[in-house]
Amino acid sequence: MAAEAVSVEPVSTLSWYVVQSAPRKEGLVGSRIRELGREVFLPTLSERRPGHRRSTVGPLFPGYLFARLAREQGDLATIRWTHGVRRLLGDGLGPQAVTDTLVDNLRGRADRTGRVRLGAGLKRGDRVRVLDGPLAGMIGLLDRPAASPVERVCVLLEVFQRLTRVELPAHAICGVRS
């Protein structure tokens, strides 16, 4: 019996890339990328400014959004030339994908509309994990929560067998379930 030749096309893998948009055009760029059939994540943040009655909603990372693209299908070139896109972030060799873990962590902090709740529901004494920086992965106790996402928090971490107070940006921690 002769074996039939089977054509196997390589399965394209989708990876998350950071897309830099023109100023205040994150939503427009996200819509255009969605029209191309790709997944987009634009994390937003609600913030109340001192002296203002209402809170405003804006991008968590102004000028940037995440898009799930396939390098093999020519998505990178297509997105680069999409109206409102400045560039795809990368190094000198070209656009570089970010880890799925980064986007998953942000999505885990967001509601279904993409609004990120930084430190939402965290109170003094809660167990937290450090997500970023040289202390990433350490677990400690929240000593002073932030009043707003742009403030810093105080976390008690065990360093050299004693509790040490460390000040971190509010976005650098997340709650840990017991």
Instruction: Answer whether 33's CB lies under 8 Å from 20's CB.
Output: no
Q: Which pLDDT score, from 0 to 100, does residue 70 have?
A: 92
Q: Is the pLDDT of residue 7 over 50?
A: no
Q: Which pLDDT score, from 0 to 100, does residue 40 have?
A: 96
Domains of the chain, residue spans: 14-108, 127-175
pTM: 0.64
Q: Which pLDDT score, from 0 to 100, does residue 147 have?
A: 64
Give the pLDDT confidence of 98-127 residue by residue, as tens digits. 999 889 888 887 888 888 765 556 788 888
What three-state secondary structure class fits 26?
helix
Place of tokens 């830099």: 20
Q: Hey, which of 29-38, 137-146, 156-165 has the most confident mean pLDDT?
A: 29-38
User: What gap in Å lies between CA 75 and CA 11, rounded to an integer?
Assistant: 14
Range in 15-19, 66-70, 152-156 the model is least confident about = 152-156
Domain 14-108, architecture per CATH = 2-Layer Sandwich (3.30)
User: What gap in Å lies between CA 152 and CA 130, rounded to an integer?
Assistant: 13
Domain 127-175, architecture per CATH = Roll (2.30)
Give the pLDDT confidence of 22-74 residue by residue, as tens digits. 999 999 999 999 999 999 999 988 766 666 777 778 888 899 999 999 988 88
